[in-house]
Amino acid sequence: MDLHLTGKTAVVTGASRGIGLADVEALTAEGVTVVAAARTITPELKETGALAVPVDLATPDGPAHLVERATAELGGDFDILVNNVGGGDGGEGRTGGFLSFTDEQWQQALELNLLAAVRTSRAALPALVRKRGALVDISSNGARIPHAGPVPYTAAKAALTAFGKALAEEFGPQGVRVNTVSPGPVRTALWESPDGYGAELARAMGVTQRELLAGIPTAMGMTTGRLVEPSEVAALVAYLASPVAGSTSGADFLIDGGAVKTA
């Protein structure tokens, strides 16, 4: 299917690895010129040919700096924003339950998973209005099943999903489509890294990380029997960003192997 994206321009946040990197790869393959933002510019990101911008979007000034740099690099307004940056759901100290989380951990989760998108969207929306563009937020199915991950992370993602719906309502009449993609467990470093959330969860459960990963689809009720691939999420993002999805706005798309059973 031709998504009619050739010649479009985009900004993708959290682009160094995982879903963000896959988003960059999918969009560039469709002929989009991409400005890719990340705290660390990885060799894999450089290989995509995207215009890489090092920036910390968890800081108050980072998002505005990114949009300014993107506009300069692209020579004007851009058509697409993908708010992918996120975190706070991995590593040591994330499996102890609600009472184990400090104010600092809550603040980190909110900065990365909500406020980074709020600030980036605020800086980017004037350009997206002028271009009658598209905005895609990457949330999580944890927004609908908040017990499925660290509570600061899932609560922040639930807020991000609500934020996307509010933007769709306000900016839809101005020509901007806003949609949300909510993946379940995706085959990324979060689950597979020896120091990520998957490793920490395995230790807390008294199983090996390999055993944990093998059991996730069954434990989560994923009828596909496997984790989601980053490229599958990216394909949905590219579609939603394209003119082919011109009548789709204000929607939240699950891509979680059937884990969430409700409508």
Asked if 208 and 250 sit in the same domain, the reply is no
For residue 200, what pLDDT is reported?
87
**Residue pair 39/55 in contact by the 8 Å Cβ criterion:** yes
Asked if 197 and 87 sit in the same domain, the reply is no
Work out the percent of the chain whose per-residue pLDDT is above 90. Answer: 86
The answer to whether residue 216 sits within a structural domain is yes
The answer to whether residue 46 sits within a structural domain is yes
Asked if 178 and 237 sit in the same domain, the reply is yes
Average pLDDT value for residue range 24-30: 98
For residue 194, what pLDDT is reported?
87
For residue range 100-137, list pLDDT tens digits in order: 999 999 999 999 999 999 999 999 999 999 999 999 99
Asked if 194 and 178 sit in the same domain, the reply is no
Number of H helices, E strands in the chain: 10, 7
For residue range 64-95, list pLDDT tens digits in order: 999 999 999 999 999 999 999 998 656 556 77
The whole domain housing 209 covers: 187-227
Cα distance between residue 216 and residue 227, in whole Å: 8
For residue 93, what pLDDT is reported?
62
Asked if 212 and 98 sit in the same domain, the reply is no
Residue 35 has pLDDT above 70, yes or no: yes
Cα distance between residue 2 and residue 131, in whole Å: 20
The answer to whether residue 260 sits within a structural domain is no
For residue 45, what pLDDT is reported?
97
Residue 138 in 3-state DSSP? Answer: strand
Residue 2 in 3-state DSSP? Answer: coil
The answer to whether residue 235 sits within a structural domain is yes
Average pLDDT, the chain: 95
Question: Which letter does DSSP use for residue 113 in this model?
Answer: I
Helix residue spans in the chain (DSSP H): 18-29, 43-47, 62-74, 103-110, 116-131, 151-171, 189-192, 197-205, 209-219, 230-241
Asked if 170 and 236 sit in the same domain, the reply is yes
Asked if 31 and 95 sit in the same domain, the reply is yes
| Active-site amino acid positions | 153
Cα distance between residue 37 and residue 237, in whole Å: 17
Average pLDDT value for residue range 151-173: 97
The CA-atom distances, in angstroms, between 73 and each of 10, 34, 205 are 11, 10, 47
Average pLDDT value for residue range 161-172: 98
Name 136's Cβ contacts closer than 8 Å, sequence gap at least 6: 80, 81, 82, 83, 178, 179, 180, 181, 237, 240, 241
Asked if 117 and 169 sit in the same domain, the reply is yes
**Residue pair 177/157 in contact by the 8 Å Cβ criterion:** no
Asked if 128 and 38 sit in the same domain, the reply is yes
Asked if 30 and 129 sit in the same domain, the reply is yes
| 66-70, 143-147, 158-162, 166-170: the lowest-pLDDT one | 143-147
Q: How many domains does the chain have?
A: 2
Which residue, among 113, 115, 53, has the nearest Cα to 78 in the 3D structure? 53
| 32-46, 51-65, 183-197: the lowest-pLDDT one | 183-197
For residue 190, what pLDDT is reported?
83
Asked if 246 and 192 sit in the same domain, the reply is no
CATH code of residue 65: 3.40.50.720
The answer to whether residue 262 sits within a structural domain is no
Question: Which letter does DSSP use for residue 115 in this model?
Answer: I
**DSSP assignment of 17-46, as one string?**
SHHHHHHHHHHHHTT-EEEEEESS--HHHH
Asked if 31 and 134 sit in the same domain, the reply is yes
Cα distance between residue 224 and residue 199, in whole Å: 23
For residue range 186-196, list pLDDT tens digits in order: 999 888 888 88
The answer to whether residue 202 sits within a structural domain is yes
For residue 109, what pLDDT is reported?
93
Question: Which letter does DSSP use for residue 221 in this model?
Answer: T
Write phi, then psi, for 197 (nearest 5 degrees). Answer: -60, -40
The answer to whether residue 44 sits within a structural domain is yes
The answer to whether residue 3 sits within a structural domain is no
For residue range 216-254, list pLDDT tens digits in order: 999 999 999 999 999 999 999 999 999 999 999 999 999
The tokens for 164 are: 């996307």
